[in-house]
Every structure is written in structure tokens, then in C-alpha cells.
Amino acid sequence: MTQIQTGLLILLLTFLGVVGYNVYLHETTPNEISYTDFVDQVQNDKIKAIHLKGGSVKGEDISKREFCSFIPDVPSILPLLNEKSILITAEKDSENFGGTLKSMLPIFLILGGYLIFSRMQKGDKPGFGKGKSSSFHPIKSTNLTFDDVAGISEARVELIEIVESLKHPDKFSSLGGYIPKGVLLQGPPGTGKTLLAKAIAGEASVPFYSIGGSDFVEMFVGVGASRVRELFTEAKKNSPCIIFIDEIDAIGGKRSGGNASGSSDEREQTLNALLVEMDGFDSNQTVIIIAATNRPDILDPALLRPGRFDRQVTISLPDVKGRRKILEVHAKKIVMARGINLSDVARGIPGFSGAEIANLVNEAALMAVRKNKNAVELSDFEEAKDKISLGLERKNLVIKEKDRRVTAYHEAGHAITAKLLPETDPVTKISIIPRGGALGLTQQVPLDDKYTYSREYLENRIKILMGGRIAEEIVFHHQTTGASNDIVRATEIASRIVCEFGMSTAIGPIAYMHEQDGFLGASTATKPYSEKTAQLIDAEIKKLIDQCYTETMELLTTNNKFLHKLAEALLVNETVDGEEMEIVHHCYINELEIEKNLKNKLKEG
């Protein structure tokens, strides 16, 4: 009998039990009558004896039929009962726990049957410690190979040796070496850690066990440790094989040393069991553990030592070449128009992970379908990129003409500052169409991936962010809240220049901010310095921002006509790309040349 058939039989028996119990209650429960009928029967000498319990009354009539009723005022009915010589027995009223339990029994039966059926459907056996263990069934072989993994060539080369060790274990032991027991894949979300683990199993053609770290954790102490032991027992039977534990930080976090009673909690017992099992393989058992996490900083040191996770492979965000390769993999699944240069698309999405690139391709295909196109065009990729990065267009948002003009000058201020300053990324798009929480946007895309930044580049970033607020002041002579996010970002850059990058002449090459329990490279501010140093840091940050503000004010004031021309182009077209901005700038330069020539002629004349 299969598990589903057994479960259905349990549900059927539960249903029959509930029906039978209801029939029993119906047959054994006395007939309930109203208080009026009870009084009438007493007056007509149809009742011989009754039993009182609080206001409830049970008894038999002259036909020996049982009944029950409720008396709202017992003392008022006693004279009538005495007059009719009715035998009265009574007991003290108390909470009717048994009656409550009887009424709840069908619910307990149904709930118990449902839970048993649910567990058996998942392949679980009833009982603690066995809950999820029977789900540890290997995938005999995944259909993925290294050809399906793009953009992480360095990590792939590092892991080819793991595949070779699974295929030819004797080759590595012939010189006295041993196969790595564990590989930790660490990197930001969406970079392809899980995909890479499946590709390793597919290349080696070995059984593949996949489980999440949270699947070991339960509220009952010892359950997680039991599941770990059962998983490894099952894996050893199918050696050689791969065990993949996703999000291992759920059970592999640093141990706290136990609670006040000296005992470990459930997560720590699970981790202890995992550490023991990873050390317990025989030499003839080839079981490789691959784990993935985006929080390697919180993992227990015992988990990371050689002999457990021998190799730690960092999978970073793909560079422009990697993004192109990932695009090529996912572009095979859609119908693309001819002439689309995926290199241009890859350059326009810096910082995108593999998962985000897959989502971009899918969104572009959906955009094309929505517009009834026969193939996905470059414009669909651009629109999908804006949707993912900036949010949906808020086409139904009604904006006053005054606010629209303020937004146009604000975005023009950003764009012109970026255009005229050196060491900046090219402007690719300016728009005053509201998206997400923003009323407009100025988009810059670097020509190449950047890994280091000069002080000039960072200062110019501050100036670009300040350009919007300054344009509003120059044209409208007032300030709005539209620059709030720009100010936050500018302050953050200035703080990192002074406190983290050591680029301040007053502070010197000293870091007052360091990485502490951050998210894979993120830093958290600490304050291991005096109040005097804090005042110096605040003064230096303010000095840097004030200097950038003043220089940007001079730049935009000098190019006031360019600001007006670009803002008017935005008000007419709503969106201006990089080429159109170049045309506006060229017209501005020509006008300056004409004005200069006229002035020279007037002087000569």
C-alpha cells in the first residue's frame, strides 16, 4: 500500500469515527425540552423524579423517557415540585470539563487525521526526529553542466578539480593527497551559487542531495542533529555523491557557548552534529559537502577550518564580459530581433547579478509580448532595465506644471554637472517621467567596470548630486524636498572619503570606520575615537560638502543658458538620451561662439 493510499485510509477512518461519535451522542443525549413544557409536565403529574445541577435539570417522565431542561430560577419551582411529590436529587454545580472535552473530540479527531495525512504525503514518518528525514532522497543526476553557468569563469576553474576528484578519486590519492571534503560558495544573492553546485553534480554524474539550512531547525532540541546524522548516513550509502546545503548560516552561525544552564540550544546541537559528521568519513567514502551563504562573516570558525570546508570560493558580481555571457545564455530562450548587440546591454547594467540579468531578459520578453511584437527589441531591454532599476512609470500621476518645471531644472542640473566635470560617467538618459518614488531621473552608465575610485571622481559624484538642488536655487530662488535623497547620498560619500578611505588632509590616512558583521563587504560605522576627533571629522565632512556645493554653484551659474536649454528640451520631450543631450550642448556651444564673435566685431567696429 502506497503512502497516499495509507493516508486516504486514515482520513476515511477518521471520518467514520466522527460520524459514529455523532450518532452515539444523538442516541445517548436526553431530549431537550423548554422550561414551559417542563412546568406543564410537572403540573400534569407526568414527571416522577428529577436531578438538579445548578440550573440544569435531568429526569424521566412517566413513560421512562429521559429529558433535560434549564430552570432559570430554581427556588421558585421547588414549592410546585414538593406539592407534586417529585423525587429530587441534586449536586453542586462545577465546570463541566468532561462535556467540553466531549464537544471538542470531533475537532481533535479531524485535526489529528489531517496532520498524519499531511506528513505522510510529504514522505514523513510520524514521530519527533524523523519529520523531514525521509525527504533526503538524492537527485540521481542534474541536467545542468558548466555550460549553463556563465559569468563566473574563475570560480568554475576552481571547481573543475572537484568534478575530477568525483570522477577519478584514485588519481588524487596516488600521490598521497586527499580530496577536499567541503567547498563553501560565498557571494552576494543571485550570483549563481546554487546553480554552480547543481552544475558540479551534473558534470560529475553523481547523486545530488539538496537541502536548506533552515530544514534542520526545529523547536524540539535534538531533532536537527538527528536529521544531520540521517542525511549523512544516507549519503554514505550512495557514495560518491554531493550534499548541497543552501543558506548554511541558518545552522552554521558562531556558537555562543551555551545558555545559563550550560546546555546548547537546538541550532548549536545541529552544528555540532554537522561538524562531527564532516570529520567522520572513511577513506573509501567520497562525499563532498558544498554549502552556500551570503554571510560568511557569521559562520563558526570550526566550520571553516581545513578538513571541513577546505575551499572557500567567492563568487562576485559579474563584470561586463560575464554579464554578456549570462545574457547570451538566457537570450537563447527568447526570440530576439536581429541586430541587438548584447555587449551594449551588458554595459548598461553594471552591478546586476546573474539572477537579475535572468529577470531582465524575462521582463524584456514580457514587454515585447505586451506590445504584440514578434521579437524582443533593444527598446524592450531598455524599458525592462528602467522598470527593474527605477520602478514602474507612474503615468496616472497628475503633476502641476510648476512642479514639472522644477523637476526638469533639477534633473538638468544633475546632467549638466555630470557632462561638464571630468572623471565622471557619461549621461545616458534624463527623464521627468515619475518612476517609483522619484519624479525624475538622470542615468549615468560607466564605460568600464570600476574597482577603485579616485578622490576627484568621488568629489565629482557629490557635485553631481548637489547639481539638482543648486539648479533649483539658481532658477527659482528657493529649495524643495526633491533633493533629500541626493543630500543623504552626498553626505554618505563625504563621510566615507573622510572616515573610511583616508583621503582627508586634516584627518590623514586613518580609518574610523571598519567592516564589522557586515553583509559580504558592507561596512558598519564604529566610533573608537574621542569627542575632539568626532568634531574634527564633522568639520571636515561639512567643509568638503560646502566646497563641492560652491564649485557646483559656480559651474551652473556660468552655464546658465545650457541649463535653460536642456530643461526646455525635457519639458517638451520628457525624456532626453545621451545623443540628444550632446545636440543641445552643441547648440549651446555654437551660440556662445556666435555671441563671442559678435562681441569681437563690436569691439573692432
User: Quick one: cell of 571?
Assistant: 519639458
Q: Cis (ω within 30 of 0) for the bond into 240?
A: yes
Cell readout for 202 is 551534473
Amino acid, res. 133: S
User: What is the DSSP secondary-structure string of 12-45?
Assistant: HHHHHHHHHHHHHHHHHSPEE--HHHHHHHHHTT
Active-site position among 382, 411, 459, 540: 411
Q: How many CB atoms lie within 10 A of CB 291?
A: 28
Contacts of residue 45, Cβ cutoff 8 Å, sequence gap at least 6: 62, 84
Q: At what angle do helices 153-167 and 193-204 cross, to 10 degrees?
A: 30
* Residue 51 buriedness (CB in 10 A; 0-12 / 13-18 / 19+): middle
Question: Catalytic: 531?
Answer: no
Spatial CB neighbours of 404, under 8 Å, sequence gap ≥ 6: 432, 571
As a three-state string, the secondary structure of 445-503 is CCCCCCCCCCHHHHHHHHHHHHHHHHHHHHHHCCCCHHHHHHHHHHHHHHHHHHHCCCC
Query: What's 270-299 look like in SS3?
Result: HHHHHHHHHCCCCCCCCEEEEEEECCHHHE
10: closest CA among 152, 112, 105, 86?
A: 112
Residues annotated as part of the active site: 411
